[in-house]
Amino acid sequence: MKNNHSCQAGPAAAEQSAVAHESCASGFTRMRSKLSFDRLVEMGAKMGLENPLFVCHDRAAKATTLVRGKEYLNFSTYDYLGINAHPEITEAVTKAASVFGTSAGASRLVGGERPPHRELEQAMADLYEVEDCIAYVSGHATNVSTLGFLFGPRDAIFHDGLAHNSLVQGSRLSGAARYSYAHNDCDALEEMLKTRRGEHKRAVIVTEGLFSMDGNIPDLPRIIELKKKYDCMLLVDEAHSLGVLGKTGRGVREYYGIKPTDVDMWMSTLSKAMCGCGGFIAGSRELVEFLKYGSPGFVFSVGMPPVIAAACSKALEIMLREPQRVHKLQQITRFFLEYAQSKGLDTGAAQGYAIVPVMVGDSMVAGFLSAALFKRGIYVMPVTFPAVKEGTARLRFFLSAAHQEEHIRKTLDAVAEELPKAQAIVEKYQREHQDEAQTDEKS
């Protein structure tokens, strides 16, 4: 007998069902981060602030970009080595597309591989001096699927307090006990390992090679000591350190001179210095084979498009052939950091490698500052809650080997001029609407 879901069941039942449906359908809107973001957008609109998100670019965004026909200095994309749209990469993509098309067609497990897949994986394994590598179609899914698949309820994951969202989501998916230690605090990590490691079958420490919001580097040699002392595995996410750290861009391993096998899983995305999309895990052959046959983000997802694999392989080739690009990136970032500090700007914990935040604290100030700079031909995005903790909003500058010192001076001079104005706008609004804010807090 079929259930009767029509309104013939009676007006009261229909009304109750509608209310229940509305409550269920709109329940996500009550999440704290969603409510907070909505308040920011609403407040910004009242203050005349346009939404800065989802700006459409007319061409490849490099040191400069084109938006609605106007050229802007660009600090919001991570073409670290200045090779996105490089003629050699474009040629490699064109050749690959003419042979393999634009899609892998299916999961590589069932639909088979294409030569560009294995060429890229072998190149990355060689780069890290490990046995093998697996390339996923998504960088975020690389971390989520790898951690979610490898670890379970009897295990423990110890991750840095500022670990990327993909690392946190993967840890949650695994069902393992999750311990978040204070950012870059190895003493805090060791204390956690002392008290918690013995409660679990297996454990992994998770950190980044270069932290994406703050531009600072972990004490990886110390973390490796702790890994060995407390019998843990170690995953290092090199999304922002590959192509950035070391004399030749080989990442945090080259920066510290670390033995490759001291890290169990070398992870990176391929969308930054490698000018593509996706991610990879490099490590032992046993690990990679296990992931290829079981990791959901690999087994149940279409394979990386061969054209993307070809692009990444060519980008890696250019990086290794032209280390001067890495040197230029490091030089221009140091110049940015020093010039910003000379202007009295707060650059947080940045160490001068590709990423430099200018800390402003208040999310609305960050929004107004970004908007003011956009009017002056400078494109840099605000980073606010929930991407960072409340009260730590910032403008995050991505540097490129293609940036010049005059770009930096022009930009930071404008930041120093516009920041007090943005602060004044927000302070004035807050004074004038103090009563409304107190009412909202009570409700």
The pLDDT score that the predictor gives to residue 219 is 98
Ramachandran category for residue 14: left, alpha or beta (phi over 0 → left; psi -120 to 50 → alpha) = alpha
Q: How many residues can be counted in the chain?
A: 443
Closest to 395 in 3D by CA, of 24, 85, 52: 52
Rounded to whole angstroms, how far apart are CA atoms 384 and 388?
A: 6
Please tell me the distance from the alpha carbon of residue 237 to that of residue 254, in angstroms, as a whole number: 14
Secondary structure of residue 177 in the 3-state scheme: strand
pLDDT confidence band for 283 (50 / 70 / 90): very high
* Catalytic sites, residue numbers: 212, 240, 272
- Are 353 and 398 in contact by the 8 Å Cβ rule? The answer is no
DSSP per-residue letters across 181-204:
EPTT-HHHHHHHHHHHGGGSS-EE
CA distance 243 to 258: 16
Q: What is the pLDDT of residues 87-129, one digit of tens each?
A: 999 999 999 999 999 999 999 999 999 999 999 999 999 999 9
Percent of the chain with pLDDT over 70: 88
| Cross-sheet strand order for the sheet of 70-74 | 64-67, 70-74, 378-379
Percent of the chain surpassing pLDDT 90: 82
CB atoms within 10 A of CB 25: 9
CA atoms within 13 A on the CB side of 184: 12
Q: What is the pLDDT averaged over residues 13-42?
A: 55
Q: 355 with 240: CB under 8 angstroms?
A: yes
Render pLDDT for 412-424 as a digit per residue (tens, 0 to 9): 999 999 999 999 9
Sign of CA dihedral 169, 174, 178, 184: negative
180 contact partners, CB below 8 Å, separation of at least 6: 159, 160, 161, 163
Angle at which helix 324-342 crosses helix 405-432, to 10 degrees, equals 40
Report the DSSP beta bridge partners of residue 279.
136, 269
pLDDT of residue 43: 67
Of residues 30 and 206, more confidence is placed in 206
Please report the pLDDT score of residue 26 as a whole number. 54
